[in-house]
Chain A
Amino acid sequence: MNQKKLNIFSTMLIVFTITLFQTKLMAETIELPEDELATETVTPIYDTPDVVKNRNIVTEKKFELGGYLGWNTTEPIYNQGKFGLNIGYHWSEKSALVFNYAQWMSGLNTFYTDGLRQDPNNLDFDRAPKKKYSLYAHYEWKVFYGKISLGKHLTTNTSTYPIFGLGTTAYEHKSFPGLDLGVGQKFYFNKWSALRVDLKLQVAQQISPFLGDTTAPYNNDKSVKVGNPTPEPSDFKERWGVNTILDVGVSATF
């Protein structure tokens, strides 16, 4: 009898011990309410997006001053080169008014005029009125502002802007109006200086240097032909033409 009781008691203790272990070894199941779990990735959409919150290059209410070299790449007779100044004011981050002064280099485009000077052409374009300077007022619409990465260790800011302008080109005897349409891009060295590249189409009234002798006996009329009388600047015809202008320079804002 005692042996039976001992057996029952020992069996109960073993079962109790195993049960105790099982309780402690069981993993806990954590249940979360379904409505608190995320079902998709959602990006907030702002009514007034403001992608640039902390602008590194600030141009608002600042003046700009710069120098440049330029080329009229479609000029056949006059010297294509010029140098000049850009002086402007940025009244906001989107808009600026810049005055572009260009001093045209003296001389001719010898790539073409040397051949036209030789026989049998005999054209002397030194007789044509000299181009002096141009002065244009440009509105720059700064629609793009961003930054570029050069390799993996250098970043710098950049700005791209359409250009709209009106101005005048002065010859030795007269000035002619014109308008500019183009695009420019700046690459900033630091917060106040930048490399500036502008490409413009210039539609302007200009002198036609090809004054010829079109009436017989073809050697009495004033023209650029060697041997004919030298014409006056006012003898040359005027026309409208399209020029491609490329300006490369540096600018500083302060």
Chain B
Amino acid sequence: MVNILKKLQFQFITNIFNFVEMYLLTKLKKTFLLLLKSFFILCISFLILQNKIQAADPADDPNTTVADTIGNSDSDSGSGASAASGSEDTAADNVELNSFEQEVKKAPTKKETKSEEKNIQDEKIEQVTDLTKLHSFNDISVLQKKYLSKTGRFQLSGGVSAIANNPWANTFGINGKFGYHFTEAWGLEASFMAMTGSDSVDKKELQKENDITTSNFVTLKGYYGLDLVWIPIYGKMALHNNKIVPFDMYFSAGGGASQIEGGQGGGTIHIGTGQIFAASKSFGYRWDFSWNGYLAKPQGNEQRFFNDLVLSFGVCFFFPEVNYR
């Protein structure tokens, strides 16, 4: 019925046009007539096309339903992060943790053959559950949406340190680090330590019982150096099943110079590892476990190789502000 009406409409308009054309033939030039004829044909064509679009059923358009349900999901694990509040991140993290629990359970993905591939346009997506019909990703960056982005940012950290393997002295002090992260995985960091110590119980007893002064035992006084930092591990932890705490685990290697009490220090090799727990997008808590190997010459003794295990705790700040996507 609609088609018949359309045909009649078209015929009517054509007849009108012919009538007008005959009328104007006696009055106007042929060129103007041709332009006018072209204009009316264009209008008629658009009219018919418009009717065809309006006749389509809106429910058949897959884009409407899918656009309403996908939301803001993003698979990039690059440097940016949204400006969402902590509660939004928690909810998103909840979904992430659960979805990636499923990923860990899955078997390794097989290479799909051409016959197994499905064109997304062939699938009708009408409900949220229909999203499972979509073509699976071949490459997924795990633990997406890095909370504490480091690319292109400076890091300033400070805290307290203690020597964990010196039996002759209780050595404590402060540490400071200043670094720059070129990428999420690589960075450079300068560090220093200023230590002070007191004689341990073993040293006091050795002196009291056997009258021996341990001048050949070394106590670290200070260290400064430069490290290459590699951050290959990113993780998230649930605290009491209530809160998600993102963290990075890093390894560092480099060198510097050590100073000792009552003697001459020397060049130092430094290897370390640690974790940074993100409290916000610019602040975190950090612990570090390092090994310093160095040559030193205690007073009145020959030069020897010494090594210290240093345990540090502190806080770190990242600046400037992260680039949001």
The residues in B between 74 and 105 inclusive whose CB is less than 8 angstroms from any CB of A are 77, 84-85, 87-88, 90-91, 93-94, 97-98, 100-105
Q: Are A25 and B235 in contact (CB under 8 A)?
A: no
- Asked if B168 lies at the interface with its beta carbon under 8 angstroms from chain A, I say yes
Nearest-neighbour CB distance to chain A for B82, whole angstroms, equals 10
Given known pairs A52-B241, A153-B142, A155-B104, the reply for A116 and B235 (CB within 8 Å) is no
Q: Are B235 and A121 in contact (CB under 8 A)?
A: no
Look across to chain B and name the residue whose beta carbon is closest to the beta carbon of A13.
Answer: B16
Q: Which of B43, B88, B235, B243 contacts A51 (CB 8 A)?
A: B243
Given known pairs A54-B98, A210-B202, the reply for A25 and B90 (CB within 8 Å) is no
- Asked if B20 lies at the interface with its beta carbon under 8 angstroms from chain A, I say yes
Q: Are A25 and B50 in contact (CB under 8 A)?
A: yes
Nearest-neighbour CB distance to chain A for B98, whole angstroms, equals 5
Total chain B interface residues with beta-carbon distance under 8 A: 65
The residues in A between 205 and 244 inclusive whose CB is less than 8 angstroms from any CB of B are 208, 210-212, 214, 223-225, 239, 241, 244
Interface stretch, picked from B118-126, B204-212, B254-262, is B204-212
Look across to chain A and name the residue whose beta carbon is closest to the beta carbon of B240.
Answer: A143
Given known pairs A51-B94, A74-B167, A145-B237, the reply for A208 and B143 (CB within 8 Å) is no
Residues of A within 8 A of B311 (CB): 199
Q: How far does the alpha carbon of A148 sit from the alpha carbon of B276 in the complex, in Å?
A: 13
Look across to chain A and name the residue whose beta carbon is closest to the beta carbon of B144.
Answer: A149
Q: Are B209 and A212 in contact (CB under 8 A)?
A: yes
Nearest-neighbour CB distance to chain A for B295, whole angstroms, equals 15
Residues of B within 8 A of A50 (CB): 241
Q: Are A49 and B16 in contact (CB under 8 A)?
A: no
Q: Which of B40, B88, B210, B233 contacts A210 (CB 8 A)?
A: B210
- Asked if B23 lies at the interface with its beta carbon under 8 angstroms from chain A, I say yes
Q: How many A-B residue pairs have CB under 8 A?
A: 160
The residues in A between 44 and 96 inclusive whose CB is less than 8 angstroms from any CB of B are 44-45, 49-56, 73-77, 94
Q: Are B104 and A56 in contact (CB under 8 A)?
A: yes
Nearest-neighbour CB distance to chain A for B247, whole angstroms, equals 8
Residues of A within 8 A of B168 (CB): 76
- Asked if B201 lies at the interface with its beta carbon under 8 angstroms from chain A, I say yes
- Asked if B151 lies at the interface with its beta carbon under 8 angstroms from chain A, I say no
Residues of A within 8 A of B100 (CB): 147, 155
Q: Are B20 and A146 in contact (CB under 8 A)?
A: no
Q: Are B77 and A151 in contact (CB under 8 A)?
A: no
Residues of B within 8 A of A144 (CB): 237-239, 245
Q: Are A13 and B20 in contact (CB under 8 A)?
A: yes
Q: Are B143 and A54 in contact (CB under 8 A)?
A: no
Look across to chain A and name the residue whose beta carbon is closest to the beta carbon of B101.
Answer: A54
- Asked if B38 lies at the interface with its beta carbon under 8 angstroms from chain A, I say no
Residues of A within 8 A of B241 (CB): 49-52, 145
Contact with A along B37-76 (1 / 0, CB 8 A): 0001001001100110000000000000000000000000
Q: Are A53 and B216 in contact (CB under 8 A)?
A: no
Some 6 contacts from A to B, beta carbons below 8 A apart, are: A24-B50, A49-B242, A74-B167, A147-B104, A210-B210, A212-B209
